[in-house]
Amino acid sequence: MKFAGKLIFALLLVVFAVLVAGYFVVQTPWGTGKIVRWVNNNTGYDLKIQSVSHSWRSPDHVMLSGVTFGRKGHSATLVAKQVDIGLSARQFSEPLHVDTILLEGGTLNLLPSAAPLPFQAERLQLTNMAINSPETGWDLTAQRVSGGLVPWKPEPGSILGRNTQIQLSAGSLSLNGIPATNVLIQGKIAQQEVILQTVGADIARGALTASARRNSDGSWEIEMLRLNDIRLQTAKSLVDFLAPLTTPPSLMIDRLEVTGARMEGPQWAITDLNFSLRNLTLAKGEWSSSDGQISLNASDIIYGPFQFTDPIFNADLSADGIKIRQFSSRWERGMIRADGQWLRQSHTLALNEVAVAGLEYTLPAQWKTWWQTALPDWLRTLTVGRFSASRNLLIDINPDFPFQFTSLDGDGTGLTLVKDNQWGIWQGKLNFAAAGATFNKVDVRRPSVSLTATPDNIAVTELSAFTDKGLLDAKAQVSQTAERAISLQLSGKGVPLNILHNWGWPDVPLSGNGNLQLSLQGRLQAGLPLAPGMNGTLHLTDSKGEQAQQTMHQGTVTGS
């Protein structure tokens, strides 16, 4: 028995000696290299460690320096100057499940393809780390990151684990090209859901605060997002800038507040924007809402050739559509305002009232093309209950037929201006009058026009203007079919007999002032030249009583 006792004691001494020797050997470069080579040769991971150290002042901690770790064939998951591993009694049952892991002074790449990792921790702590998130669809980089995850249990496809509390801060961060500083994130991961209870950051010289949730299907719910005094410049167009809103399967916005924002990109800019949005969901290119609201005002909004000054927009959102309570803006040195509603089922924009006053507007060169281009499906119909215009200046500088109206007034009722996604005057009554006008170098005074539109035709019941010493008066009918058949009866008294020359009629054989009668029929069919489709007769009488008549057939004039 004494021999057995001595043998056991000797074996314990040997084991203790081996452990002591191993303790010191592991902390030598030779011992550290042996561990590294064994991991690299016998596992699917690449590992580099410059040194291993231990202090009896903290007997439950092991310090690793100069660490690089990752799956073979992938970028390194971890590069750190120092890794502090806290041990516990749990190592006897689960050797790779440690109490704490502290990463300091390096880079952590959140690679879903690298998960799961062979070790876990009750707490993963970061100090002055950089974080990148490739392979996730989020262009995320962060610097000077500190904080932690409790617990940290990486699983397949989720390097952060599926159930953990998160608290992180970052000195700087860039997400999808948008930089931020002084970032704070508090939240948790619960199975497939990411719950961000508090997000705060300095962004674009302003401040951001938010709380949000990412659901298991990839959809997002923004419980609250507030942006204050941001100053943002981007190289993206407005469509590309807003594209991330359509990336998730669905995006629910419970509350969004923007105050004092200034944003600018190619061909668009917004200054001093105050914006509020409640209860809106975006999914599959569509939006939906129940009891939602939208409110907007700004100093200026620029989009392409359009600039709106002091715009105000307030609307209610519902399952039926949008009720526009107020829209007003200064535009082209004048003012426009409207109210009404957009109806989802019929894709109809039904405006109760539209008023324009004091505009000084030059039509864009391509306005005729815009007029003939089919509108998007959301605007199948546009109706205006009441229209008014006062003191406007309207100019077209098209060299083929320039025109200008000065001090243009107008009114209309029961108008349908878009039908089946196409602009037109499809229904209603319109009246316009101006102090003066110029049509292709021909000046007239007090032009006026009155018309009534039905689904079948447009009847111009009055069309008149004063020349220098005479009066022009006309009536016309234009069909609403695709051929746009037109019938025009024009008379002139005491007018220049060659007044129609600049409007497309050839020279006449008489000169001076006199009377004229024009009867014209033809087609205004889109995409076809005007003259070849015209037939008519012009009868002239000069001041001496001499008469002449010309006949137009398919754009060619004969007679004397």
Given a contact cutoff of 8 angstroms between Cβ atoms, the answer to whether 464 and 471 are in contact is: yes
Q: Is the pLDDT of residue 227 over 90?
A: yes
Which two three-digit tokens encode residue 334? Answer: 């004048």
Dihedral, 323, 326, 330, 331 alpha carbons, nearest 10: 20
Q: pLDDT at residue 328 above 90?
A: yes
Report whether 419 contacts 439 (CB < 8 A).
no
Cis ω for the linkage preceding 116 (within 30 of 0): yes
pLDDT category at 59 given cuts 50, 70, 90 is confident
Nearest to 201 by CA among 167, 166, 227: 227
Please tell me the distance from the alpha carbon of residue 366 to that of residue 348, in angstroms, as a whole number: 25
Task: List for the chain the helix, strand, coil content (%; round to 5).
Answer: 10, 60, 25
Question: For residue 33, what pLDDT band results from cuts at 50, 70 and 90?
Answer: low
CA 446 to chain centroid, in Å, comes to 45
Q: Does position 335 have pLDDT exceeding 90, yes or no?
A: yes
Structure tokens of 330?
A: 């200064």
Q: Residue 523: which pLDDT band, with cuts at 50, 70 and 90?
A: confident
Q: Which amino acid is at 448?
A: S
What's the DSSP call for residue 456? Answer: S
Residue range 232-248: mean pLDDT, rounded: 88
Backbone angles phi, psi at 397, to 5 degrees: -100, 15
The residues near 14 (Cβ < 8 Å, ≥ 6 apart) are none
Q: Which class for 545: exposed (0-12), middle (13-18), buried (19 or more C-beta within 10 A)?
A: exposed
Strand partners, 172: 143, 181
What integer pLDDT is reported at residue 560 of this predicted model? 62
Instruction: Please check the confidence at residue 422 and state whether its pLDDT lies above 90.
Output: yes
Q: Are 516 and 538 in contact (CB under 8 A)?
A: yes
* pLDDT class of 545 with cuts at 50, 70, 90: confident
Q: What is the mean pLDDT of residues 192-205?
A: 90
pLDDT more than 70, % of the chain: 90
pLDDT at residue 27 is higher than 90: no
Rounded CA Rg of the chain: 39
Looking at residue 75, its pLDDT comes to 79
Average pLDDT over residues 336-360: 96
How high is the pLDDT of residue 3? 43
CA distance 515 to 267: 52
Task: Decide if pLDDT at 551 tops 70.
Answer: yes
Rounded Cα–Cα distance for residues 267 and 277 (Å): 25
CA distances from 215 to 152, 155, 187 (A): 20, 18, 14
Task: Share the mean pLDDT of the chain.
Answer: 87
What is the rounded average pLDDT of the residues 222-233?
A: 94
Residues 6+ apart with CB under 8 A from 543: 512, 513, 514
Give residue 10's pLDDT.
42
If DSSP states are collapsed to H, E and C, what string results for 164-208? Answer: EEEEEEEEEEEECCEEEEEEEEEEEEECCEEEEEEEEEEECCEEE
Q: Phi first, then psi: what are they for 20, rounded to 5°?
A: -65, -45
Could you report the per-residue pLDDT of 89-147, keeping only the tens digit for each?
Answer: 676 677 778 888 888 988 888 877 666 677 888 898 999 999 888 765 567 889 999 99
pLDDT at 86: 82
Q: What phi, psi does 526 have (nearest 5°)?
A: -65, 140
Longest CA span, the chain: 155
Helix ranges restricted to H, 329-483: 367-372
Structural tokens at position 18: 């081996």
Count CA atoms within 13 Å of residue 417 on its CB side. 15
Other CB atoms within 10 A of residue 399 CB: 7
The tens digit of pLDDT for each residue in 488-518 reads 999 999 999 999 989 888 889 998 999 999 9
Per-residue pLDDT, 262? 96
Q: Report residue 406's pLDDT band, with 50, 70 and 90 as the boundaries.
A: very high
The pLDDT assigned to 19 comes to: 39
Least confidently predicted of 149-163, 280-294, 346-360, 472-486: 149-163
Has residue 334 got a pLDDT over 90?
yes
**Average pLDDT for 287-295:** 93
Q: Reply yes or no on whether the pLDDT at 450 is more than 80.
A: yes
Q: Is 24's pLDDT higher than 60?
A: no
Measured distance CA(354)–CA(375) in Å, rounded:
20
Helical spans, DSSP H, in 27-165: 29-42
